[in-house]
Amino acid sequence: MNDLLLKAVLAGVCFGIWPLLMNRSGLNGNVSSAAYTLIALIGVLPFALYSSGFSLPTANWTMVVLAGLFGAFGLLSFNGMLAGATLQNVGTLFVLMTVVQVAIAAAYQTFMSGHLTIDRAGGYIAALVAAYLLLH
């Protein structure tokens, strides 16, 4: 498995686990978002400072700000959902969020490639069917 695939799998495992743990924290959505952000910053900052190729001056700051704003709103929404979810429905809500997230990424890929293939259209239909089956 190459490095990028391994990182994708590891990210999926970690992004799959942390919300389930946060759901059990007892914090409300906004406080859990702040706590998560602070702890993530503490965990990420040493790697960011150590990394080579300091790129802040040349970054596209419009995209950085937009990404940060969407990320902040998404984190607040997601943790608000987690804080209100029961142990019985947190998995269902998490699946719904994940299916929407995958659909956004797939739509972006379709847009960037400039065309919708039969395979990709089939994938969209399969995702809708999977979401329906997993949520009911």
Q: Is the whole model's pTM more than 0.85, yes or no?
A: no
**Buried residues in 30-43 as b, exposed as e (16+ CB within 10 A):** eebbeebeeeeeee
Torsion of CA 54, 5, 96, 69, to 10 degrees: 10
Q: How confident is the prediction along the chain (136 residues), in pLDDT tens digits per residue?
A: 799 999 999 999 999 999 999 999 999 999 999 999 999 999 999 998 888 667 888 899 999 999 999 999 999 999 999 999 998 999 889 888 988 898 898 889 999 999 899 998 998 899 889 888 887 8
